Amino acid sequence: SQTIHQWPATLVQPVGSPLSLECTVEGTSNPNLYWYRQAAGRGLQLLFYSVGIGQISSEVPQNLSASRPQDRQFILSSKKLLLSDSGFYLCAWMSGIGYTFGSGTRLTVV
Amino acid sequence: TQLLEQSPQFLSIQEGENLTVYCNSSSVFSSLQWYRQEPGEGPVLLVTVVTGGEVKKLKRLTFQFGDARKDSSLHITAAQPGDTGLYLCAGGNTGNQFYFGTGTSLTVIP
């Protein structure tokens, strides 16, 4: 069966520090992978998606970047975090019927 | 970005009551999905509807896709505390991504 792993679950980082969130998928090959950000109790904003190794599409200009170094690995990064980068970050892959999401990372920038 | 507005934004009801959540857009979608999300977790897919006018039932939950494929509703009969959560609709087309609605936070009071 397909599973998606995302870590860490929570993260507190100072302003100006770097960020690296990792997401890996098991049980499928060549998945479409996504990074979303969610404000508290609200909908999801698409940040990046990838249809293959090295292929990244960005939806909104921001302080973040993404990379896909391996087929089943998707990484969200920042060189210098801003206070506005705080939020709940979700990784997902798209199967034929819908998204399967990771358990999320709660990022607080202080 | 294709905007999907959900209403109401917040809903608090007593156990046993019925409720309806709406998802509206000015855009046409080829398919629409509903997800439920619990605090600190990723959203979980409930249903996908693809045909205008389609109705799907999942136990006490009834999902309907509008005839024009611009809107959808979720009706819950005899709500239970376990139905508590954030309900999200998401509309998609021929691309590799879905656009999420603004979310409805449901609390069912025992």
Q: Is the pLDDT of residue B96 over 80?
A: no
Q: Which of B43, B48, B105 sits opposite A41 (nearest CB)?
A: B105
Write down the residue that tokens 């929570």 correspond to: A10
pLDDT band for position A24 (cuts 50, 70, 90)? very high
Predicted confidence (pLDDT) per residue in B64-84, tens digit = 999 999 999 999 999 999 999
CB < 8 Å to B100, chain A: 36, 43-46
What pLDDT, on a 0 to 100 scale, did the predictor assign at position A42? 81
Cβ atoms of residues A47 and A88 within 8 Å: no
What pLDDT is recorded for position A67?
96
Distance CA B40, CA B83 (A): 16
pLDDT tens figures, A50-97: 999 999 998 876 789 999 999 999 999 999 999 999 999 999 998 877
CA B92, CA B109: separation in Å to the nearest integer? 33
pLDDT in tens, A39-56: 887 889 999 999 999 999
Phi and psi torsions of A65, nearest 5°:
-140, 165
Residue B42 to residue A103, Cβ atoms within 8 A: yes
pLDDT one-digit tens code per residue, B5-19: 999 999 999 999 999
Residue with tokens 């302080």: A63
Residue A104 CA to residue A23 CA, distance in Å, equals 10
pLDDT of amino acid B17: 98
Contact at CB, A99 and B90, closer than 8 angstroms: yes
A65 forms beta bridges with A77
**pLDDT tens column, B17-62:** 999 999 999 999 999 999 999 988 999 999 999 999 999 999 999 9
| CB pair distance less than 8 Å for B42 and A102 | yes
Chain B positions touching A98 (Cβ under 8 A) are: 33, 35, 45, 48, 98
Q: What is the pLDDT of residue A4?
A: 93
Among residues A40, A2, A9, A18, the alpha carbon closest in space to that of A106 is found at: A9
pLDDT of the residue at B2: 63
